[in-house]
């Protein structure tokens, strides 16, 4: 190469480095940066690692961490390093803090190094890192005082006009500060404090969340009455989106946005105390569908201003349909509609549940079915968990006779994201469409209605006699009511195992009465210690003392079974005895057809953790390593459900 001049910049050909290989010319050093999860307003340690890739020592190595304007970086342990040998690596630690409010612009970090080789100063940089900025919980995102005490209402501002919910009125309606709220087997915790920020204004924040199920559940109200996009991020890096909104806290149709009222107080607080006696102020439960079988790591809230009090993953509580049944008689994992809530066995009524009339399509009445309308920004949908147990869907579709002359819609049946049926444009004068759709193997069925391009006015769509043909209940196993116990440690006598138990390398008692426990695919037992006083180790059961052990293959698998008429609780004890919480594992439960019944990630079990399910039929339970060389299970314990749940 010759020396060159470009825009007055002189580029000299310095020739090859004496004694250097071609690889060394390409890369004298590399720099990498941890990909952290940052919480707004909090410090997080980030490690920058530098590796000398050359064949000679580097001296005077300094590491820095440039960052975007939304982040503040301070050195924690980042002193210059005098010398780094060939092939060696060194690290520096930096404290990274985001602004207290969530940065609106993208954030990034870049590791940078400077060093001296053979008397010449050089440098290297990492690839840019895009850290995930997320609140650790919805409580950490609270920014608005929405609940106040009747005796101290000043400062409350749920609605932007100085008004707030009354603690006393909500408590009378069942929402106790710090109390548990359970809906669809989803466990929420109501805010514990009043007179301080106790709701989050939904404005695009990301909140960390852990678990798997069928939906994300919100306890919320208010906002600007518009839907917004929820983005769910999963452990595998994939995402899904959907629309969600909550009705205003008062004086509006409570069925809007398919929201379910949770509680209704009988007054609210103004700046001077209780007011508006006899007026209901509601809190609502709304959901956004999640991908089944995937583990949620975070949820990005919609930018629509609704006030969110609590957030959780809703478990797959719905049993799949059985035999031949109407869709309107089954549980739905989600439902959205324009012009009011989706109606069961009625045409769309536009305001409240049950305010529609009988479904009539081209003069033909239907006692069973679904009434709905498209959304302004996309199709509406009813989602049903089939879990691969159904074969056929049948319905008669068309614009309901409630609209005599106007309206136009398109119906579609979607299975696991694939369109299985799509109607032509259906108008008020169109003939009904009678449809029969093969849904064999479908896990999630969606019944969608979209606008045909002329606006959603008069778009009253009805699915007459919408029904499913599925396997009978006896053909299906279940694993439900997952429990996690972090308190019992290795003490299980009188708590677990009344109907049978098996400890890795420590004996057991076989269950009876049609209940079975097969550990053949769990691998050999590895015993860390046969005798210990450490309370984390399982009580040995057949002798005094405690044993620390585990089934020892990469992915232990257990087959368990209980009569469908008499479910039993199977409890698995996990103990990360030897790696100081380095292990993380995924637990997946499948029926004999391979359908996933539940999945959850377990971590932080160096002090022991119990994972339990109520099982009927035959299922396999597999433990797969996410972090660490292998998954571990120390024992399995069996109890009658009636005995442990009282």
Tokens of 614: 């109520």
Lowest mean pLDDT among 323-327, 507-511, 558-562: 323-327
Beta bridge partners of residue 437, listed in sequence order: 393
* Spatial separation of the C-alpha atoms in residues 406 and 356, rounded to whole Å: 18
* Spatial separation of the C-alpha atoms in residues 521 and 208, rounded to whole Å: 35
Taken in order of first residue, the domains within the chain and their CATH numbers are 20-133 (2.60.40.10), 139-314 (no CATH), 324-472 (2.60.120.1060), 478-644 (2.60.120)
CB 52 within 8 A of CB 59: no
Lowest mean pLDDT among 166-180, 269-283, 467-481, 594-608: 467-481
Q: Please tell me the predicted confidence (pLDDT) of residue 130.
A: 78
CB 74 within 8 A of CB 95: yes
* Spatial separation of the C-alpha atoms in residues 290 and 293, rounded to whole Å: 9
The DSSP element (H or E) to which 167 belongs, if any, is helix 167-172
| Distances 324 to 80, 319, 329, 590 between C-alpha atoms, Å | 73, 14, 11, 24
| Distances 336 to 251, 333, 377, 379, 602 between C-alpha atoms, Å | 21, 11, 12, 9, 33
The DSSP element (H or E) to which 234 belongs, if any, is strand 228-234
Q: Please tell me the predicted confidence (pLDDT) of residue 185.
A: 67
Q: Please tell me the predicted confidence (pLDDT) of residue 19.
A: 44
Tokens of 170: 């909500």
Q: In sequence order, what DSSP letters do the residues of 554-617 get, joined into one string?
A: SS-EEEEEE-TTS-EEEEEEE---SSTT--EEEEEEEETT--EEEEEEEE--TT-EEEEEEEEE
Q: Is 476 exposed, middle or buried (0-12, 13-18, 19+ CB in 10 A)?
A: buried
Tokens of 215: 């939906």
List pLDDT tens digits, range 427-451: 988 999 999 999 998 988 999 999 9
Instruction: Determine how β-strand 260-265 pairs with β-strand 281-289.
Output: antiparallel
List pLDDT tens digits, range 384-393: 888 788 999 9
Q: Which contacts qualify for 348-352: CB closer than 8 Å, 24 or more apart?
A: 348/372, 348/373, 348/400, 348/402, 348/460, 348/461, 348/462, 351/253, 351/255, 352/253, 352/254, 352/255
Give the pLDDT mean for 299-326: 84
pLDDT at 572 over 90: yes
Q: Please tell me the predicted confidence (pLDDT) of residue 5.
A: 41
Beta bridge partners of residue 336, listed in sequence order: 381
Tokens of 431: 């003939």
Beta bridge partners of residue 283, listed in sequence order: 263
Band (pLDDT 50/70/90 cuts) for residue 174 is confident
Residue 126: DSSP 8-state? P
Q: Please tell me the predicted confidence (pLDDT) of residue 253.
A: 57
CB atoms within 10 A of CB 463: 29
Three-class SS state of 521 = helix
* Spatial separation of the C-alpha atoms in residues 106 and 129, rounded to whole Å: 11
Contacts of 479 (CB under 8 A, 6+ apart): 589, 597, 598, 613, 614, 615, 619
Contacts of 206 (CB under 8 A, 6+ apart): 102, 132, 133, 134, 135, 233, 298, 299, 300, 301
* Spatial separation of the C-alpha atoms in residues 419 and 398, rounded to whole Å: 18
* Spatial separation of the C-alpha atoms in residues 39 and 100, rounded to whole Å: 9
Band (pLDDT 50/70/90 cuts) for residue 318 is low
List pLDDT tens digits, range 484-533: 999 999 999 989 999 999 999 988 999 988 899 999 889 889 999 999 99
- Check: pTM over 0.75? Answer yes or no: no
CB 360 within 8 A of CB 403: no
């Amino acid at each position: 190469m010759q020396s060159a001049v470009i825009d007055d910049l002189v580029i000299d050909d310095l020739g090859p480095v004496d004694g250097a290989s071609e690889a060394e010319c390409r890369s004298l050093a590399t720099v990498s940066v941890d990909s952290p999860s940052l919480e707004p307003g909090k410090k997080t340690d980030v490690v920058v690692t530098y590796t000398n890739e050359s064949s000679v020592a580097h001296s005077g190595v300094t590491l820095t961490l440039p960052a975007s304007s939304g982040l503040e970086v301070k050195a924690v342990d980042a002193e210059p390093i005098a010398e780094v040998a060939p092939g060696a690596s060194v690290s520096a630690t930096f404290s990274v803090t985001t602004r207290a409010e969530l940065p609106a612009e993208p954030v990034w970090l870049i590791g940078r190094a400077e060093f001296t080789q053979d008397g010449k100063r050089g440098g290297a940089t990492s690839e840019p890192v895009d850290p995930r900025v997320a609140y650790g919980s919805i409580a950490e995102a609270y920014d608005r005082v929405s609940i106040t005490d009747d005796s101290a209402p000043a400062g409350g501002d749920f609605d932007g006009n100085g008004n707030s919910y009354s603690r006393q009125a909500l408590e009378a309606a069942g929402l106790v500060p710090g109390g548990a709220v359970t809906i669809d087997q989803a466990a929420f915790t109501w805010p514990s404090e009043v007179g301080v920020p106790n709701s989050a204004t939904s404005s695009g924040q990301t909140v960390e969340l852990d678990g798997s199920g069928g939906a994300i559940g919100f306890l919320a109200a208010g906002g600007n009455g518009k839907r917004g996009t929820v983005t769910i991020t999963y452990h595998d890096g994939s995402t899904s989106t959907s629309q969600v909104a909550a009705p205003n806290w008062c004086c509006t149709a409570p069925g809007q946005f398919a929201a379910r009222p949770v509680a209704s107080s009988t007054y609210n607080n103004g700046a001077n105390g209780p007011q508006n006696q006899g007026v209901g102020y509601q809190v609502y439960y709304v959901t956004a569908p999640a991908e089944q079988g995937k583990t949620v790591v975070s949820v990005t809230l919609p930018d629509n201003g609704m006030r969110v009090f609590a957030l959780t993953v809703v478990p797959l509580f719905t049993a799949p349909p059985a035999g031949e049944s109407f869709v309107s008689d089954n549980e739905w994992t989600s439902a959205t509609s324009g012009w009011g809530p989706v109606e069961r066995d009625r045409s769309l009524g536009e305001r409240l549940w049950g305010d529609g009339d009988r479904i009539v399509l081209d003069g033909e009445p239907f006692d069973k079915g679904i009434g709905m309308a498209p959304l302004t920004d996309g199709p509406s949908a009813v989602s049903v968990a089939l879990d691969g147990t159904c074969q056929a869907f049948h319905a008669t579709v068309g614009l309901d006779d409630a609209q005599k002359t106007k309206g136009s819609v398109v119906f579609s049946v979607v299975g696991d994201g694939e369109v299985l049926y799509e109607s032509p444009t259906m108008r008020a004068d169109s003939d009904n469409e009678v449809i029969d759709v093969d849904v064999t193997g479908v896990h999630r069925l969606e019944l969608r209605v979209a606008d045909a391009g002329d606006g959603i006015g008069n778009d009253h769509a009805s699915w007459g006699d919408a029904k499913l043909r599925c396997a009978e209940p006896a053909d299906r196993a279940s694993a439900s009511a997952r429990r996690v116990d972090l308190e019992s440690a290795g003490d299980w006598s009188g708590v677990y195992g009344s109907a049978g138990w098996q400890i890795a390398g420590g004996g057991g008692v076989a269950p009876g009465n049609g209940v079975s426990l097969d550990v053949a695919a769990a691998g050999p037992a590895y015993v860390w210690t046969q005798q210990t006083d450490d309370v984390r180790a399982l009580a040995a059961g057949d002798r005094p003392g405690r044993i620390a052990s585990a089934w020892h293959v990469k992915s232990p698998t257990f087959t368990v079974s209980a009569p469908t008429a008499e479910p039993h609780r199977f409890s698995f004890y996990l103990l990360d005895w030897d790696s100081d919480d380095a292990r993380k594992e995924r637990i997946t439960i499948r029926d004999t057809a391979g359908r996933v019944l539940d999945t959850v990630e377990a971590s932080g079990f160096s002090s022991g953790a119990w994972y339990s399910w109520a099982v009927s039929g035959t299922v396999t339970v597999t433990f797969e390593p996410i972090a660490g060389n292998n998954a571990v299970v120390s024992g399995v314990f069996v109890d009658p459900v009636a005995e442990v749940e009282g």
